[in-house]
Amino acid sequence: MSKLVTIYGGSGFVGRYIARRMAKDGWRVRVAVRRPNEALFVKPYGVVGQVEPVFCNIRDDGSVRAAMMGADAVVNCVGTFDAGGKNNFDAVQDAGATRIARIASEQGVGAMVHLSAIGADAEAESGYAASKGKGEAGVLEHMPTAMILRPSVVFGQEDEFFNRFATMTRFSPVLPIVGAETKFQPVYVDDVAHAACMGIKGEASGIYELGGPDVQSFRELMKEMLGVIHRRKLMLNIPFFVARPMAWVMGVVDTLSLGLVPQQISGDQVKQLRQDNVVSGDHKGFSDLGIRPTATEAVLPDYLWRFRPSGQYDAIKESAKNLRAH
């Protein structure tokens, strides 16, 4: 019987790449999610019955325990950007992560990988970063040999970073950005999954900060994205002192409209954007795992082409223009 890994949040952006890699390696994969019927797309990652979505609410001991039954390794990919509600920062990223580690320890699970974030710090001003820091402490208290991954902003086909801003360019002549000079080190989703799989197989443990090969400012990343999608937009840097009240107003509108007008940026995200999101050098990284990280330029055109003015026909129109010019 092949080994079994339970991936909490395994149908999410990073989780699905880990699930695909582990299935390819011959493991049985249990994808523990709140809505299994929305995670059926993971089943073809393996042969029939190899990858199975199951229901799990990480706020409940019994639910977490049931999803972990018989697992040789566990991965926690569950995260949230919601400061309020039942599935808030503390419930998911602190208590939820700690619960998974405690039950993994009780059940004698051999390996655990926990997905955190650069900037995780229990003392951070940002609620998101503070809950990530507390979650790490909870995981290490119960599973001291766990592998903790702290990626910078993660990019890839289903990302909520480049896709989101590229979508905005379709409707607005202006691209507003908060913290234009804040530095990022974008990391490719499958590189993060590769690192996680090493932890699952017991080949690595400890804290790893994961950043891609390039450090760029927010403005530079948007400029690169605009180049890929062949659009010219005016980039408007919104100062932090303007962004904070703006985020508050957006939150009120989101609440009053019952989510019909979603909040584009929260006050907590404004706090996060004050800090550079790059590896500190205080922890291990990709080089210690023997992984060579992928650059944005190698991947962005593969999935952002659909935001070009003529989509897949953009290159054909461009070459036709050149022929007419000659």
- Cα gap 159→146, rounded to integer Å: 26
Residues 6+ apart with CB under 8 A from 90: 127, 131, 134
* pLDDT, position 318: 62
- Cα gap 202→195, rounded to integer Å: 11
- Cα gap 55→34, rounded to integer Å: 5
Q: Chunked in runs of 10, what are the mean pLDDT values of the chain (326 residues)? A: 91 96 96 95 94 95 96 94 83 93 96 96 93 96 96 96 94 92 97 97 95 96 96 93 92 87 86 93 95 97 93 66 65
By the 8 A CB rule, do 80 and 127 touch? no
By the 8 A CB rule, do 222 and 153 touch? no
* pLDDT, position 258: 83
Dmax (CA) of the chain? 73
